[in-house]
Amino acid sequence: MDNFFHPIDVVSILRNNYGDSLTLEFSRYAYKPQTIFDERTVFDVPISEVSSAWLEKEIGSLLPNWELAFNSRVKDWRGRTFHVPMIDFIGKYALGSYSNFEGVLGAHIAKRMMFFDSGRSFHSYAPMLIKPGEWVNFMGRLLLLNLPQGPLITDARWVGHRLMGGFSALRWSNHSGAYLRLPIPVSRDTVFDPEGGRNP
């Protein structure tokens, strides 16, 4: 997984695992820090149409100060809704022990997580589909990664925003100038501290 160059490769794995009948959800949004609601336009794209050329075209068509995000909601050919597990971490420090991460989230999700450096923080995706009730449970578990008197691991404001919105979303572009870079892949060893602490 360390060879992936952009989170779009999460879609390639979803397509390999679930086929071409899925419809993915994306959003264009205007970056507004420290607000409760963001300005966001949601749209669907068949998974077979999502490619590097598609991504380049979408980013190129963004309005000034807007970004492109991949949303967690996915529909199958029957119209049933699922979610792709996503995480927005706090910062880019080593995020404690992997064993605690796996223990809270469950091995079936944790072991599939792919990690990306988004500039100021780490992002993560598990290229799998979970049911809506499982997604709510997963989002709650993200908050439980932030242990009392321990270092903050996940972005609680992001979790709150996404629960209110009914889907997760992580940035795929760097168009507005508000961020440091496009997300790029990093290894699990970059994200987790084998000693179990958080190293500045």
Q: What is the pLDDT along the chain (200 residues), one digit of tens a residue?
A: 333 467 899 999 999 999 999 999 999 988 665 555 568 899 999 999 999 899 999 998 998 889 999 999 999 999 999 999 999 998 776 567 788 899 999 999 999 999 998 888 899 999 999 999 999 999 999 999 988 877 788 999 999 989 999 999 999 988 666 555 578 888 888 888 655 444 44
Q: Which residue has the tokens 């990664």?
A: 145
Q: What is the pTM of this model?
A: 0.88
**Long-range CB contacts (within 8 A, 24+) of 11-19:** 11/47, 11/50, 11/70, 13/127, 14/47, 14/74, 14/84, 14/127, 14/128, 14/129, 15/47, 15/48, 17/127, 17/128, 18/47, 18/76, 18/129
Domains and CATH numbers, the chain: 8-191 (3.90.920)
Q: Treating both helix axes as pointing N-terminal to C-terminal, what angle do 132-144 and 98-105 enclose, rounded to 10 degrees?
A: 140
